[in-house]
Chains A and B, each alone.
Chain A
Amino acid sequence: GAVVSQHPSWVICKSGTSVKIECRSLDFQATTMFWYRQFPKQSLMLMATSNEGSKATYEQGVEKDKFLINHASLTLSTLTVTSAHPEDSSFYICSVPGQGRAGVIYNEQFFGPGTRLTVL
């Protein structure tokens, strides 16, 4: 199955700074990647769908100007939390769905290990 990595695994930043999180599909070409957020003791909530070569699709209630997504290649999507505030502290997880341009169709959703963001 696909292997998905995220970097960094954790980050602590001051309020007002911007943080970039990378999601890489290591062995699978992904035209689409998903970004989820998980608050403590809660489930995963989809934030946006990252589309290679086009704009991301954001879920209702997610500020696209605050959470900038760039899907520059078939193996890399980045999420930038701009002007982060303490309420943005969360666990951010990306995933790669079951289809890609490689012509091999997987049925599973493959998740990265997550990035723990703490904003002071």
Chain B
Amino acid sequence: KQEVTQIPAALSVPEGENLVLNCSFTDSAIYNLQWFRQDPGKGLTSLLLIQSSQREQTSGRLNASLDKSSGRSTLYIAASQPGDSATYLCAVKANGAGKSTFGDGTTLTVKP
């Protein structure tokens, strides 16, 4: 059974800092890994998707890496802003049409 762990559970940083969020998974046989953002009381916003054959994806100030063999992914946020404050979830999918297994999330607070 796939298990996904995210560290740290919470993170508070001053505005402008670069930061890294970690995601680890126990079964390396994944189809893809997706990073989401969730604001309080809201649904999920997809940030980045990494296919199993890829090592990283970039979108603006966000960069996600994937090391499938070690079961790890990182989400790098450059020059953090207060608007980045949210809970960040990673999810791994076993196959193209299959269900996703979520980590517990990292709650990020960026202080002005």
Spell out A's residues near B (CB within 8 Å).
Answer: 31-32, 34, 36, 42-46, 49, 91, 93, 95, 97-99, 105, 107-114, 116
Contact = CB atoms under 8 A, between A and B. Distances in A.
B44 interface: yes
A107 B42 contact: no
Contact of B43 (A46, A97, A113): A113
Given A43-B105, A44-B102, A93-B44, A107 B51 contact: yes
A109 B94 CA distance: 12
A103 to B, nearest CB: 13
Interface residues of B, number: 23
Contacts of B66: none
Contact of A108 (B49, B97, B101, B104): B49
Contact of A46 (B42, B99, B104): B99
Given A45-B102, A91-B41, A99-B97, 19 more contacts: A42-B104, A43-B102, A43-B104, A46-B99, A46-B101, A93-B43, A97-B100, A98-B97, A107-B32, A107-B51, A107-B96, A108-B49, A109-B34, A111-B44, A111-B46, A112-B43, A113-B42, A113-B43, A114-B43
B96 A44 contact: no
B68 interface: no
- Interface of B, secondary structure class, is strand
Given A42-B104, A107-B51, A109-B91, A97 B98 contact: yes
A46 to B, nearest CB: 5
A44 B93 CA distance: 14
A42 B103 CA distance: 9
A44 B46 contact: no
Contacts of B32: 107
B92 to A, nearest CB: 10
- Counting chain B CB atoms within 10 Å of each CB, the highest count among A31, A93, A107, A109 belongs to A109
